[in-house]
Amino acid sequence: MTTPTIYQDPLYQLLRSEKISAFNSKKSSLDSSKLTSGDYRGLDLRKMECDGLDFSDAYFRGADLRGVDFRNTNLEGASFCEAKISGCYFPKQLSVAEITMSVERGTRVRYSD
């Protein structure tokens, strides 16, 4: 298991600063490899566009993710403890039980085959 990391990468720092519009406009032109294992605790990430991104092993404790579409996002190993997830779409590989356990108990989500 990885521990949450705070990167100095410009794209990652846009999320850490909750500059979601700037993140959305620059995500295709900047390196998105530094989003994995990231520390996103308590951030307001509503309206984040994350289609095709890799947030595996990310730590979203207490983050506001309402309405985010994660359907085409790699979330394997991410933790959503106490995150606000109302209106979110999740990848088909994540069961409702996995998401619930993660939100309620902080477990890391595992993809089903």
Q: What predicted TM-score, i.e. pTM, was given to this entire model? A: 0.92
CA dist 36 and 21 (Å) reads 20
Please report the pLDDT score of residue 1 as a whole number.
Answer: 54
pLDDT value at 2 more than 70: no
The residue-averaged pLDDT of 87-92 equals 97
pLDDT digits (tens, 9 = 90+) for 4-38: 778 889 999 999 999 999 999 999 888 888 899 99
What residues are paired with 39 via a beta bridge? Answer: 59
**Percentage of the chain exceeding pLDDT 90:** 84
pLDDT value at 105 more than 90: yes
